[in-house]
Structure 1
Amino acid sequence: MNETVNADPAELAKFSEQAHRWWDPDSEFGPLHHINPLRLNWIDSLAGLAGKRVVDVGCGGGILADSMARRGASVLGIDLAQKALRVAQLHALEAGTPNVEYRESSAEALAREQPESFDVVTCMEMLEHVPDRASVVDACARLVKPGGWVFFSTINRNPKSFLFAIVGAEYVLNLLPRGTHEYLKFIKPSELAGWCRAARLDVLQTQGMEYNPVTRRYWLSADTSVNYLAATRKA
């Protein structure tokens, strides 16, 4: 049976082209390295990663997946960008990271293969890069066990987020390559909450993520106007 894969070929090509720089903290992936301790600690504080089975949807080069495995989780990272997956696999081998593996798969395909198989599902900085965001949210809900946690992070859509996440981050501060994000693909918290409700996920907590370009410090806050995270749980 032929099936349309929920992915943008241009987005996959973009991240594949940059794949060899995933683990360079001074590259365009530097912001992911800087925010990773924040999101990792937040996820761990709510879900308790040790001993849990976790799938990281849209894992890229494995920055979050690797760190969750080091917290004691058994982690599967999935992505459709082949070069990024190879980088993740190579890093795991070189670093000797235990209990982490990587597969080329979409969230929808894995949800059909392994429904309700994971204690925790993470989908971070990925939703704004796919054509059908609601489909990914639904797949994440189908992957997690009843009572399990699903975590999302993405970017709000409003004039402030355009100014900060595109003009500021890509054109003024050069934190990200130009063209990394498209404003119309940004997601309002109300939209994400609606997709979660439709997938039978309860949104239990949201957090904003802020950045000070002078001190180069990131922190979590109550301000969800630009970058934000959502913790949801399956009933």
Structure 2
Amino acid sequence: MTTAANVDESELAKFSALAHRWWDLTGEFAPLHAINPLRLEWIDGICPLAGQRILDVGCGGGILADAMARKGAEVLGIDLAEKSLKVAKLHALEAQTPRLTYRCIAAEALAAEQPGRFDAVTCMEMLEHVPDPASIVRACATLVKPGGWVFFSTINRNPKSFLMAIVGAEYLLNLVPRGTHEYARLLRPSELGRFCRKAGLELQRSSGLEYNPLTRRYRLSADTGVNYMIATRRPAE
């Protein structure tokens, strides 16, 4: 079950080099801070977080994990970028965020160690950065309890997403650093849906995330052509 090799060292190096910027609201991770309230409320509206045991896979500097803990969840954030985890831990300490812990461990390894332990699992903006996203989906499905929720977000792969998420966001608007995303690794909803079905997860809902360059604001929408989120559920036994 364990596939510790499911990591791209160049991707780890990329995020490690920016680790000290995770909580800079005007820095390279500003878009994540901007969309965090939207994705947090979407998740909480489907699976109320208070009192739940939540796993955040690929937590980075802890932007979503911290917010979920502040909603009343008991949160474990995992990542393989140790520098990012150090920043996440320091921020949790400084902000005195309750019920929040972090571990440097692969999702597949944790799935072998703690199957069916979590009420919900989140894996946001991470699948497009690993060599084998299907392996991550399987691990998430193993980690969640029967009847529990698994949430994913990623970027669609089509001409529109290439123009908006790569050319626009990285080269024209400078929303994220150049080279953040590799077009070939982006995932169509049909591909992610297939991974989920093979892992035993049932698709329940989806939502797009749109950016308006004029207002510089994000909003939830029905358009999954670029950024999108899906909510899946492991069937109750």
Q: TM-score, normalised by structure 2?
A: 0.98
Q: In the aligned structure 2, how far is the partner of 1:118 from the partner of 1:232?
A: 14
Instruction: Report what 1:135 is aligned to.
Output: 135
The alignment partner of 2:33 has SS state of helix
The alignment partner of 2:122 has SS state of strand
Q: Can you list the C-alpha shifts for 1:153-197, whole angstroms capped at 9, x where unaligned?
A: 000000000000000000000000000000000000000000000
The alignment partner of 2:228 has SS state of strand
Task: Please tell me whether residue 42 in structure 1 is matched to residue 70 in structure 2.
Answer: no
Q: In the aligned structure 1, how far is the partner of 2:128 from the partner of 2:119?
A: 24
Instruction: Report what 2:7 is aligned to.
Output: 7
Instruction: Report what 1:156 is aligned to.
Output: 156
Q: In the aligned structure 2, how far is the partner of 1:49 from the partner of 1:85?
A: 22
Instruction: Report what 2:188 is aligned to.
Output: 188
Query: Structure 1: which 5+ residue stretches go unaligned?
Result: none
Q: Can you list the C-alpha shifts for 1:90-139, whole angstroms capped at 9, x where unaligned?
A: 00000000000000011100000000000010000000000000000000
Say whether the 8 Å CA contact 2:4–2:106 is kept in structure 1. no
Query: Structure 2: which 5+ residue stretches go unaligned?
Result: none
Instruction: Report what 2:107 is aligned to.
Output: 107
Task: Please tell me whether residue 216 in structure 1 is matched to residue 230 in structure 2.
Answer: no
Task: Please tell me whether residue 231 in structure 1 is matched to residue 236 in structure 2.
Answer: no
CA deviation after TM superposition for structure 1 residue 4, in Å: 4.4
How many residues in Structure 1 have an aligned counterpart in Structure 2? 234
Q: In the aligned structure 1, how far is the partner of 2:204 from the partner of 2:77?
A: 24
The alignment partner of 1:154 has SS state of strand
Q: In the aligned structure 2, how far is the partner of 1:16 from the partner of 1:109?
A: 21
Residue identity (%)? 70
The alignment partner of 2:138 has SS state of helix
Q: Can you list the C-alpha shifts for 1:201-220, whole angstroms capped at 9, x where unaligned?
A: 00000100000011011000
Instruction: Report what 2:55 is aligned to.
Output: 55
Say whether the 8 Å CA contact 2:55–2:122 is kept in structure 1. yes
Say whether the 8 Å CA contact 2:38–2:219 is kept in structure 1. yes
Amino acid of the residue matched to residue 142 of structure 1? T
Q: In the aligned structure 2, how far is the partner of 1:23 from the partner of 1:139?
A: 28
Instruction: Report what 1:26 is aligned to.
Output: 26
Alignment of 1:75-90 (within 5 A): 75-90=75-90
CA deviation after TM superposition for structure 1 residue 5, in Å: 2.0
Q: Which aligned runs of 4 or more in structure 1 are off by greater than 3 angstroms?
A: none
The alignment partner of 2:211 has SS state of strand
Q: In the aligned structure 1, how far is the partner of 2:66 from the partner of 2:5?
A: 26
Q: 1:3 to 1:210 in 2, by over 3 A?
A: closer
Instruction: Report what 2:121 is aligned to.
Output: 121
Indicate the RMSD between aligned Cα atoms, in angstroms: 0.8
Say whether the 8 Å CA contact 2:196–2:203 is kept in structure 1. yes
Q: TM-score, normalised by structure 1?
A: 0.99
Amino acid of the residue matched to residue 58 of structure 1? G
The alignment partner of 2:147 has SS state of strand
The alignment partner of 2:207 has SS state of strand
